[in-house]
Structure 1
């Protein structure tokens, strides 16, 4: 298939393929997005696409901060790509047109900074994953020793990090008397808006105290909660979708029908009417954030580590094992739900039941290995915050501690058959060093990993209720394996 999806062949696509209902020639840039990955293209870009017919001033310029892969896929397609929504009932295809242009930041840093500093840019959104904020996950503070932060403070005009790009763009706007854009993070950080504001303010203070005061006083960083499961695109997905379109799409995205976006409504320079696309605007997003981070993400990580170790390739494969369903439902009901404080009208029971069904969706090939990435950055908000709340109240943490133990077993880099695990984590070398020193000793491995304060802080390593439970679970994983450990799991 030689032809590529682009503006010229939109009208020729099959009738069952949904296309933009607006004229892309009249779209103007109002949003810059940092971290143009699959999640953004299945979530925020779709909400924006839904409202462009009513207001064409919110087109997106999307930037990749690392790899040119997304640029190479989308730029020849005029930014167009296919959203494939998959369920047991089938697959619905839709062409998304909200991304006007893709920039590769490492080779076009000045171009990106100019677009961000342009007064027409009123919002900068981010999906750069937890590690992209160059912060200490245990404290939420800027990691001033991070190599990218050290570089960016020395070379403001050629930044590498998301904080570096944002602060340099804000510095330029401030010098010209242009109000700051709103920074809208869509990553899974605790109190994500406040965390990002803290990181950016500190970075700005290190650049210049006056700039630090400007950021502290003027920059709005609303908190958000985002929810949609987006597996990695496979070559089989590309082939299947290309055949349905009649033209090639180098990088479609595959997702589930469910989508949710809860946002604090603080946008001094204006915003799209995302509520018309289903977004929910609230005064305080924290209860929803805790609900999603703990119920969905905490369960997902627990499934990923245990499922991978048990030999299951996908979440759906893992959830086909009823022992895992019992474990996860018990984790949700007995250990996570009591830590949540939801506003009136929130239906936690329906949400949890929907999560179980979403995890079971066989149409989504969400690999356990993909979810297991970057665990050192994810654990603090997905599991450890819940553990702290439970310990504070003297409540049991058996399943939560098993999730931590499964992560410890996974990061040794060897599976239950002795085959290597491709551990993708910014701390991978350090984790492997601890594992090598521990050998096959669960006690030594747990002690060494708990000593990493960037993950566990200063409090948890000294609490024997967690360290004892996790070490016992870890020993059981070594002895019996993940599948048997889950099948025989008992609270007590």
Structure 2
């Protein structure tokens, strides 16, 4: 087995490109989605650019990336147009990683580079949020929008052009919300009317929607892959071949960022709403619904869920009976997409672990399933059984004794406080508008049904509870 670590010395032929994009987030998804697409454009001579990555949190992958000269391998595995895909490609479209917590001046110095035109981000669904403690002189501020505000203000002070900003966080109207929070910080920090005008006139904030399943580092096959590739790569990342990116922005963006020209499945449109609803509710929704119940049943991956008779029926009926009826799109668009989603879930080449999907599950539920639950109750006068059962499983999973919790310390503290009084837990957690954006204790019947489901889940198990509801 080779002990050579992937680097530019092991692969000296790999090209170097000038930095054209600032990317907040160095995790698996962005490296297998945005940076992979930059690579495809570079391969065809259409872009000639790299991304400089910014760690959104202090503990990140910057050290590992530097040790490999910012190179890594993307492994595409799956079925595409009924043909198996099994490819390996070294990605050289990342120039470096900056940790603003250890070198804030290097971060702010990005504002000086006229060659940087684009900003992308994926700081999880919880990343585009206002943090009241962030100050203009923070080194650095805590939140991503505050960091971005500081960078944009430095750019403005230097008298330079703005950016095309395309967030990839999976929240509705992500570009608009990011812009609003940046404007809020600008006003709070008294950065001046001229800066606010520059923000509006010189920068293009785009809403976007991303779609690619990226399970991440293939731990179970790492040694086998090292032997196959001939080098050690601690940052290789697996992904499905399918990719879709919808960017709501001006028509000129398709030429400035020639993704579609490179043959990539990217749409620049003036209205992304139909694409977003279809994807968030029919792909991400089932993911979020299956996680707590599946983990409590001892299942480990999405494929495990789809190969389990009870859980597979759960996913099928959730999509057909609770999700599709609530979407305002033609059935002829929804049904083929739903079928394709379930085929992707069954991809035998991808180990998509439920634990990786479980990160920040509360904010994911709020975005992906809560709107459907509320609409279902309003239109039909009753609660959707499967979503509600999954909601109960989610709440139980945040007690912390059944499955591992992955969320912010602030979120876990809220649940620890609520679970300290089990008799009042459901009411307390539903009333917390900071979690849901509204008081869910006012939703007719929800508290009672959740309490009943929690009792079922605790007295039996998630599989037995599910079997009461799926046909």
TM-score, normalisation: structure 1: 0.87
- SS for the counterpart of 1:153 is coil
Using the TM superposition, give the Cα deviation of residue 459 of structure 1 relative to its aligned residue in structure 2, in angstroms. Answer: 4.2
Q: Deviations over 1:447-467 (max 9, x none)?
A: 222122112233422112333
User: 1:228 maps to what in 2?
Assistant: 212
Using the TM superposition, give the Cα deviation of residue 473 of structure 1 relative to its aligned residue in structure 2, in angstroms. Answer: 2.1
Matched, 1:380 2:374: no
Counterpart mapping for 1:134-145 below 5 A: 135=129, 142-144=130-132
Matched, 1:485 2:465: yes
- Provide the C-alpha distance between the structure 1 equivalents of 2:297 and 2:196, rounded to a whole number of angstroms: 49
Q: 1:212 to 1:460 in 2, by over 3 A?
A: farther
Q: Deviations over 1:52-105 (max 9, x none)?
A: 132344311112222455222222322211001123757321111111222222
Using the TM superposition, give the Cα deviation of residue 263 of structure 1 relative to its aligned residue in structure 2, in angstroms. Answer: 1.0
- Provide the C-alpha distance between the structure 2 equivalents of 1:311 and 1:43, rounded to a whole number of angstroms: 30
Q: 1:346 to 1:257 in 2, by over 3 A?
A: farther
User: 2:280 maps to what in 1?
Assistant: 293
How many residue pairs are counted as aligned between the two chains? 457
Matched, 1:412 2:399: yes
- Provide the C-alpha distance between the structure 2 equivalents of 1:429 and 1:82, rounded to a whole number of angstroms: 38
Using the TM superposition, give the Cα deviation of residue 117 of structure 1 relative to its aligned residue in structure 2, in angstroms. Answer: 4.3
Q: 1:487 to 1:116 in 2, by over 3 A?
A: farther
Using the TM superposition, give the Cα deviation of residue 346 of structure 1 relative to its aligned residue in structure 2, in angstroms. Answer: 7.0
Q: 1:345 to 1:31 in 2, by over 3 A?
A: farther
Q: Deviations over 1:320-377 (max 9, x none)?
A: 11221222122212221233234x7973212111111222223322222221221222
User: 1:174 maps to what in 2?
Assistant: 156
Q: 1:213 to 1:391 in 2, by over 3 A?
A: farther
User: 1:302 maps to what in 2?
Assistant: 289
- Provide the C-alpha distance between the structure 2 equivalents of 1:404 and 1:456, rounded to a whole number of angstroms: 12
Preserved CA contact (<8 Å) 1:224 1:264 = yes
User: 1:256 maps to what in 2?
Assistant: 240
Q: 1:157 to 1:120 in 2, by over 3 A?
A: farther
User: 2:269 maps to what in 1?
Assistant: 282
- Provide the C-alpha distance between the structure 2 equivalents of 1:281 and 1:268, rounded to a whole number of angstroms: 9
Matched, 1:431 2:431: no
Q: Which consecutive residues of structure 1, in runs of 5 or more, have no partner in the other structure?
A: 13-22, 136-141, 145-149, 416-420
Using the TM superposition, give the Cα deviation of residue 286 of structure 1 relative to its aligned residue in structure 2, in angstroms. Answer: 1.7
- Provide the C-alpha distance between the structure 1 equivalents of 2:346 and 2:53, rounded to a whole number of angstroms: 32
User: 1:18 maps to what in 2?
Assistant: none
Using the TM superposition, give the Cα deviation of residue 297 of structure 1 relative to its aligned residue in structure 2, in angstroms. Answer: 1.3
Q: Which consecutive residues of structure 2, in runs of 5 or more, have no partner in the other structure?
A: none
- SS for the counterpart of 1:8 is coil
Give the one of 360, 363, 371 matched to 2:349: 363
- Provide the C-alpha distance between the structure 1 equivalents of 2:109 and 2:425, rounded to a whole number of angstroms: 48
User: 1:153 maps to what in 2?
Assistant: 135
User: 1:473 maps to what in 2?
Assistant: 453
Q: 1:212 to 1:230 in 2, by over 3 A?
A: same
- SS for the counterpart of 1:87 is strand
Using the TM superposition, give the Cα deviation of residue 4 of structure 1 relative to its aligned residue in structure 2, in angstroms. Answer: 1.6
Preserved CA contact (<8 Å) 1:85 1:256 = yes
User: 2:178 maps to what in 1?
Assistant: 196
CA RMSD of aligned residues (A): 2.4
- Provide the C-alpha distance between the structure 2 equivalents of 1:471 and 1:412, rounded to a whole number of angstroms: 14
Q: Deviations over 1:209-254 (max 9, x none)?
A: 4234443454321111111111241443432222111111121001
Q: Deviations over 1:399-431 (max 9, x none)?
A: 22112111111111122xxxxx32121211221
- SS for the counterpart of 1:225 is strand
Q: 1:29 to 1:71 in 2, by over 3 A?
A: same
Preserved CA contact (<8 Å) 1:380 1:456 = yes
- SS for the counterpart of 1:403 is helix
User: 1:82 maps to what in 2?
Assistant: 73
User: 1:125 maps to what in 2?
Assistant: 120
Matched, 1:454 2:434: yes
- Provide the C-alpha distance between the structure 2 equivalents of 1:239 and 1:424, rounded to a whole number of angstroms: 27
